[in-house]
Structure 1
Amino acid sequence: MNEPPTGAQPERPYHHGHLRAELLQLAWNSIELEGIEGLSLRALARQVGVSHGASARHFKDRQALLDALAVTGFEQLSGALERIFQSALPFETRFRDAALAYIEFAVNHPKLLRLMYAAHLHPEASDRLKELACATLRNMTGAIALAQEAGEVRVGEAKELALIAFANFHGVAKLASGDLLQGMPWQDAAHLSIQFTWQGLAPRKEQS
């Protein structure tokens, strides 16, 4: 982070109501580019042009900022998945769309996704963060249970089926974001994984 030029005006108190959102956006951008190692609340405050005390009114320390970033990430991801699962499309279509949306989020925001899952394990993680960290699996479990009632998913423990499905596409997401697919486009790996997973969820056909 560049130091302010000599003769720059001293940091000023922030006088409008959008400081929290602006700090979050700058922190998000910083993590996307550089990861969390160099993230500094004081540096962000300088970048906005406010005192550290002004930023501390919104985030008491760096960990509080990381918690808020993780919450923001989970809210975006969970909101997108909920909209897909709540649509009126057949469950197979919703399942495929949700899995692809999750993998795409991971590919586009790999550093943020790592932060999200690490931050919710921190001893000072907020209740909101802990709740959101479980939302993907919880929503998928509920969607699978409803699809079972409609005959769109095979019988079985809905939570177990959801856990295995989540493990499959989260695994592809981790491989893709870590550049570990050995040249295979992430979209191809995602579709193959989703197809394989769906074969395990699809209703069993009657044996003739």
Structure 2
Amino acid sequence: MSDAKKTYHHGDLAVALLKAAEVELSETGIEKFSLRAVAKRAGVSHGAPAHHFGDARGLLTALAADGYKRLLSVQTAREVAAGSDPRDVLIASGLGYLDFAQANPELFRLMFNSSIPNREDARFFDIALAVFDHLVDRIQSVTQKNPYEDKDSMLDLMTSWSVVHGLAELLVSGRAERPLNLASLTDVEKEAALVSILDRANRSILV
């Protein structure tokens, strides 16, 4: 679709390019990602992505930053539904992390496993730090100690995060399928299994 057939306001075009970039990333992977393909998918000129984001790395950095914003939103929604018990909220936060990873595997890999995003970019840095600080708050609610000030609490945080992130990686890669026999489980049973894993991990470190 040519520019004559599709008109965007400045902000709308940036959003459209991010959406097109995410679809392109999901369908082709990082290795084949290109600004030209994104522009074609969005129905705009080949120069439009570069005008807004500079180059492919700039666009992927913006996409990864948007991913962190969405991750935080998914986690927060899970936490709100969990009630007021700090441990339940911590588990819910982990479930939100798993939800996001499974729903957005390529974006998840871009955010956490790729060297492509510019992690010094201000927007990327700020939202990634906000996600980490959110975990700091969740851990502090349980331990009553600020992980930034208490070494043991930070070790608790890193252990909890490691379990959640490692489980996310196993789910996204399919390596958790056989050990947990996920194909035979209902959605309710699958969630119960994931809750049990996170609960066991948190009980062992947050005494």
Q: If the TM-score is normalised by the length of the shorter chain, which range does it land in?
A: 0.7 to 0.9
Unaligned segments of structure 1, at least 5 residues: 1-8, 204-208
Amino acid at match of 1:16: Y
Match runs of 1:134-145 below 5 Å: 134-145=129-140
Corresponding position: 1:16 with 2:16: no
- Please give the root-mean-square deviation of Cα atoms over the aligned residues, in Å: 2.9
Q: Secondary structure at the match of 2:44?
A: coil
Q: Matches of 1:167 and 1:124 in 2, distance apart?
A: 20
Determine which structure has the larger helix proportion and give its number: 2
From 106, 111, 117, the counterpart of 2:112: 117
Q: Which moved more, 1:97-106 or 1:136-145?
A: 136-145
Q: Structure 1 148/48 Cα, relative in aligned 2: closer, same or farther at 3 Å?
A: closer
Residue pair 2:58, 2:117 contacting (<8 A) in 1 also: no
Corresponding position: 1:193 with 2:197: yes
Match runs of 1:142-157 below 5 Å: 142-149=137-144, 157=152
Q: Structure 1 120/72 Cα, relative in aligned 2: closer, same or farther at 3 Å?
A: farther
From 10, 25, 29, the counterpart of 1:31: 25
1:200: how far off?
Answer: 2.1
Q: Secondary structure at the match of 2:175?
A: coil
Amino acid at match of 1:29: V
Choose 1 or 2 for highest CA Rg: 1
1:97: how far off?
Answer: 0.9
1:147: how far off?
Answer: 3.0
Q: Matches of 2:21 and 2:203 in 1, distance apart?
A: 41
TM (norm. structure 2) is 0.78
Corresponding position: 1:129 with 2:134: no
Q: Matches of 1:75 and 1:136 in 2, distance apart?
A: 8
From 88, 103, 113, the counterpart of 1:93: 88
1:103: how far off?
Answer: 1.1
* Paired position in structure 2 for 1:63: 57
Q: Structure 1 149/182 Cα, relative in aligned 2: closer, same or farther at 3 Å?
A: closer
Residue pair 2:64, 2:124 contacting (<8 A) in 1 also: yes
Residue pair 2:159, 2:205 contacting (<8 A) in 1 also: no
Q: Matches of 1:74 and 1:97 in 2, distance apart?
A: 17
Unaligned segments of structure 2, at least 5 residues: 183-189
Provide, for residues 160-186 of structure 1, a one-character-per-residue CA deviation record: whole Å limited to 9, x for no partner.
Answer: 111100001111110111111252226
Q: Matches of 2:107 and 2:85 in 1, distance apart?
A: 31
Residue pair 2:26, 2:107 contacting (<8 A) in 1 also: yes
Residue pair 1:71, 1:132 contacting (<8 A) in 2 also: yes
Identity %: 25
